[in-house]
Chain A
Amino acid sequence: MSSVFSPNTLKELLDCIKLACDKGDKFEIRGQGSKRSWGRPVQNCSILDLSKLSGILFYEPRELVLSAIAGTPMKNITETLKDNNQYLAFEPPNLSFLYGEPDNHGTIGGVIATNLSGPRRLSVGAARDHLLGFEAVSGAGEYFKSGGRVVKNVTGFDLSKLLAGSFGTLAAMTSITVKVLPHPNKSRTLLVRGLENKVAINTLCESLSLSLEVSGAAHLPAGIASKSSVPYISSSNSSATVIRLEGHAPSVAARCKIAKEVWRQYGDIEELHTHNTEKLWKEISGIVTFLDQETDQIWRISVPPSQGADLLFKLKEKLKFDAFFDWGGGLIWLSESNETKYSERIIRQVMSEQSGHATLFRASNKDRKNFDVFNPQSNALMNITRKIKKNFDPYGVLNPERMYEGV
């Protein structure tokens, strides 16, 4: 049983990390543990539990800015924003179901540390694009900050970008300031059924090239669509190609009309209203409805959108799997039950001939230890990665090897 340190104050956190530097201790950083199984397993470490460092520091709806201590539960943040009809536009999904953890949406620190973004990433950017500034304690026990609370800021290196998606391997973030946005008044989903992958992706690419301001573009092959709890999606036993349009009511109505005219050639079009739209996109971002089978490995593959369908075709020749597309075809969620030794080799090999990257998003501890979780980097890039880690966390105190073996 690893020991747990739960600092109550910033000072205690600083002391914890400094002490670990001295003693050669190592920490696994944890908020609510909702995404513990994303990344390589952090082994033989004490737990640095940051959940007690929690609370919203300031929230100014008219300034579209919120600042919170990193351990603040997402639930609190979402509810606070909702009271003012605002939200985190990058749509961070709740992954606890996927990882078999008790239902919790994690902390704002975890969301930023994993650069976790949902379907709306397509139109509004990733978590990293909404992070305005942070404060943190480096692996060497130094307290530092970067960025600020304003959107337009080019003062000094943008360390916010480096910290977002670094999986707690560089520093333990203590406070996080994010841009928030007004919640769209209206949302609609347009649905067309029965398209093959390739045709569907072309349709999505075409829709994204029109001035429709599409805020979600996904394709669910037949076997996947049938698992949806939205009857419009599941009932017809065929694939579902969907786009989401959001905004002010007259604008959404006008854009729906244009999209319908373009889509008419592909078949009958259904229009999902607010309730079903919310339900469907929650399923798409949460993944678990569509892909969960307990023993499966789940992969997250990001490629140029126009190449998504061809990639699956290539993989299909060698591998058995289920998959669906988000981000207009550019994001593939894939689950497979093959021996990881085999599937990892196939996927890495196909990806090596193709632009993009693949992450082993869910797998057993053993598999995530024995196989690359993140896409292997070129030697020159890996060299930089190692040095960055070394310069922020010289003694390897924070989340050792969470991203790459030996880093």
Chain B
Amino acid sequence: MKMPDLNLETIKKRPKIIKALRKIIPEENRGDNIIEDEDGLKVYECDGLSAYRQLPMLVVLPETTKQISHILKYCSDNDIKVVARGSGTSLSGGALPLADAVLLGLGKFNKIVDIDYNNRTVVAQPGVTNLSITEAVTHNNFYYAPDPSSQIACSIGGNVAENSGGVHCLKYGLTTNNILGIEMVLMNGDVITLGGKYLDADGYDFLGILAGSEGLLGIITEVTVRILRKPDLARAMLVGFDDIVAAGDCVASIIGAGIIPAGMEMMDKLAIKAAEDFIQAGYPLDVEALLIVELDGPKSEIDYLINIVEDISKDHGARYIRISNNDSEREIFWAGRKAAFPAVGRITPDYYCMDGTIPRSKLPEVLKSMNEMSEKYNLRVANVFHAGDGNLHPLIMYDANKDGELERAEDFGSEILKLCVEVGGVLTGEHGVGVEKRDLMSTMFTEEDLKQQQRVKCVFDPEGLLNPGKVFPTLHRCSELGRVHVHQGKTRFPDIPHF
């Protein structure tokens, strides 16, 4: 993976940079909040995509918006790159450090600033974990809907940067659909506020652009999220099929019947077995595909819908159906699914997790091709899907200690993602582009598509100092993205009919 050219000047200036940062961070915190020794830096050398590692030049952990503003202004004035990091759980290398960049950790921004039940909002600092937002309001029966599997650790700032999803986003949407406002610092040190405790900020939707911008546009210092009342009841069903295509059809029929479950997950045989061996959730081991369907809402609604889902499942040849009778049983149903990644980790030295999304109807076709690829690359693959929204997580199993297996796994992964794009899907449904899928962007986007995205980047960070090397295969200099000036009246296209 080629990263941006090292700025040797910056590395040479390291002592000077440390000195400047010391002036910004108050004396009593300097020892803890500026990390320069190798042991200390080692902690930050990778995120959730641990195949890529790099020691940062140095780490700074600011505690106030003002400090961030000063740090960015200083870095901007001195041409120093900055990489932001929340909890470091990115699965695409979004927080991978650079050898010539300041790593700006938001871990000290860990306070919930405001809880407002009347307006159903929580204002949190970016380092607050996803789960602690829910925990802060759970005693009043509220929760924050997006629930990425890493929710115990991942930060809300990182969730905004990655536009994180989760198993319930089929019904409740991604991060972008659940945030109302942010405060952020631009690379030039300006602090801006977008939105607030009200709906639909006017003007261009910068809030929408920030969600999923992977730390390339600014540093988020505060997030206003929408909270929801917990549903009265949730029940989950396990539905087993002899045929994975039948399971896929069943998913389409449930949605086609006008039912939007809170979550709808699918696992294939290999994933079922790995999860069952690990967690003993009571999954049937003799089926080819297992669906977990969760319905939430008032009891009468669930009672009504669960019967319909049961009928649809039977129509599609389901031969195993189990319905949770209480919350602990429901949680056991989920436990196996939620532990599917580590479960697969137990049966293989290494695995590589993909994250493409496809139109649901293409599932049989894509599964068939994946099986063929599995033979071609001679690597096993276990499949876990967010079936309701077509988001696939094939887990390619390999052994990094065996010569060439990592490369084969990566090639296998790339081929899967290219297939996803070919059938009308996308490279990443929730894990982000980061460094991992950066070089595949051109399979989905033309040069012009990517240029338009980079023109947004140029507005927020014209020198390309924020998180360079991520998302875009080549980051054009902003001056290159300008257009050739056309003199008025001089027609470049004289042959075009003026109609």
Partner-binding segment picked from A55-63, A103-111, A221-229, A232-240: A55-63
| A33 cross-chain contacts in B, Cβ below 8 A | none
Complex interface bits, B202-246 against A, C-beta within 8 A gives 1, otherwise 0: 111111110111000000000000000111100000000000000
| A331 cross-chain contacts in B, Cβ below 8 A | 199
Partner-binding segment picked from B15-23, B255-263, B268-276: B255-263
Distance in Å: Cβ of A110 to nearest Cβ of chain B: 17
| B493 cross-chain contacts in A, Cβ below 8 A | 15, 18-19, 22
| A274 cross-chain contacts in B, Cβ below 8 A | none
Q: How far is the CA of A128 from the CA of B255 in the complex (A)?
A: 22
| B232 cross-chain contacts in A, Cβ below 8 A | 211
| B446 cross-chain contacts in A, Cβ below 8 A | 144-145
Q: How far is the CA of A42 from the CA of B470 in the complex (A)?
A: 39
- Sort chain B's interface into a size bin: 35 or more
Complex interface bits, B191-203 against A, C-beta within 8 A gives 1, otherwise 0: 1111011111111
Contact in complex: A23, B300 (CB < 8 Å)? no
Contact in complex: A150, B483 (CB < 8 Å)? no
A45 within 8 A of B: no
Contact in complex: A117, B200 (CB < 8 Å)? yes
Q: How far is the CA of A251 from the CA of B358 in the complex (A)?
A: 32
| B488 cross-chain contacts in A, Cβ below 8 A | 22-24
Which of chain A's residues has its CB closest to B425's CB?
A150
Contact in complex: A156, B300 (CB < 8 Å)? no
> With A23-B489, A162-B208 given, is the CB distance from A305 to B163 under 8 Å?
no
B176 within 8 A of A: yes
> With A12-B499, A306-B119, A356-B198 given, is the CB distance from A146 to B203 under 8 Å?
no
Contact in complex: A250, B119 (CB < 8 Å)? no
Within 8 A of A (CB), among B249-295: 252-253, 255-260
B432 within 8 A of A: yes
> With A161-B211, A381-B192 given, is the CB distance from A211 to B300 under 8 Å?
no
Q: List the interface of chain B (C-beta within 8 A of A).
A: 116-121, 141-142, 162-163, 165, 169-170, 173-174, 176-177, 186, 190-194, 196-209, 211-213, 229-232, 252-253, 255-260, 297-301, 303-305, 357-361, 386, 389-391, 424-433, 437, 441, 444-446, 448-453, 455-460, 471, 481-483, 486, 488-493, 496, 498-499
- Pick from A7, A164, A208, A392: contact of B120, CB below 8 A: A208
| B207 cross-chain contacts in A, Cβ below 8 A | 161
A/B interface sample: 9 pairs, CB < 8 A:
A22-B486, A150-B424, A154-B174, A251-B301, A251-B304, A304-B121, A304-B196, A388-B204, A394-B483
> With A63-B359, A304-B197 given, is the CB distance from A161 to B433 under 8 Å?
no
A178 within 8 A of B: no
At the interface, is chain B mostly helix, strand, loop or mixed? loop
* Besides A23-B488, A374-B202, 14 other A-B contacts (C-beta < 8 A): A18-B493, A19-B498, A22-B489, A63-B360, A146-B453, A150-B390, A154-B428, A156-B450, A157-B213, A158-B176, A161-B209, A165-B205, A205-B118, A250-B304
A315 within 8 A of B: no
> With A22-B486, A380-B190, A395-B486 given, is the CB distance from A155 to B428 under 8 Å?
yes
Distance in Å: Cβ of B366 to nearest Cβ of chain A: 13
A314 within 8 A of B: no
A330 within 8 A of B: yes
Contact in complex: B119, A304 (CB < 8 Å)? yes
Q: How far is the CA of A22 from the CA of B491 in the complex (A)?
A: 5
> With A164-B205, A303-B198, A388-B459 given, is the CB distance from A158 to B163 under 8 Å?
yes
Q: How far is the CA of A85 from the CA of B255 in the complex (A)?
A: 13
Q: List the interface of chain A (C-beta within 8 A of B).
A: 5-7, 12, 15, 18-19, 21-24, 60-65, 85, 115, 117, 121-122, 125-126, 128-129, 138, 140, 142-146, 148-162, 164-166, 170, 181-183, 185, 205, 208-211, 213, 247-251, 253-255, 258, 302-306, 327, 330-331, 355-357, 359, 374-375, 377-378, 380-381, 383-385, 387-388, 391-392, 394-395, 403
Contact in complex: B203, A385 (CB < 8 Å)? yes
- Pick from A21, A150, A165, A392: contact of B455, CB below 8 A: A392
Distance in Å: Cβ of A51 to nearest Cβ of chain B: 15
Contact in complex: B358, A374 (CB < 8 Å)? no
Which of chain A's residues has its CB closest to B217's CB?
A157
Residue among B211, B490, B496 facing the most chain A CB atoms (10 A cut-off): B496
Contact in complex: B197, A157 (CB < 8 Å)? no
Distance in Å: Cβ of B320 to nearest Cβ of chain A: 24
Which of chain A's residues has its CB closest to B121's CB?
A304
Contact in complex: B491, A392 (CB < 8 Å)? no
Q: How far is the CA of A182 from the CA of B257 in the complex (A)?
A: 8
Q: How far is the CA of A254 from the CA of B452 in the complex (A)?
A: 49
> With A165-B204, A374-B203 given, is the CB distance from A154 to B360 under 8 Å?
no
- Pick from B141, B200, B358, B490: contact of A150, CB below 8 A: B358
Q: How far is the CA of A18 from the CA of B358 in the complex (A)?
A: 35
| A211 cross-chain contacts in B, Cβ below 8 A | 141, 229-232, 297-298
Contact in complex: B426, A148 (CB < 8 Å)? yes
Q: How far is the CA of A282 from the CA of B263 in the complex (A)?
A: 32
Distance in Å: Cβ of A396 to nearest Cβ of chain B: 12
Distance in Å: Cβ of A159 to nearest Cβ of chain B: 6
Q: How far is the CA of A210 from the CA of B141 in the complex (A)?
A: 9
Distance in Å: Cβ of B388 to nearest Cβ of chain A: 9
Which of chain A's residues has its CB closest to B392's CB?
A152
Distance in Å: Cβ of A325 to nearest Cβ of chain B: 13
| B193 cross-chain contacts in A, Cβ below 8 A | 378
Q: How far is the CA of A15 from the CA of B498 in the complex (A)?
A: 9
Distance in Å: Cβ of A155 to nearest Cβ of chain B: 5
Contact in complex: B305, A248 (CB < 8 Å)? yes
Q: How far is the CA of A324 from the CA of B96 in the complex (A)?
A: 51
Contact in complex: B459, A146 (CB < 8 Å)? no
Contact in complex: A209, B231 (CB < 8 Å)? no
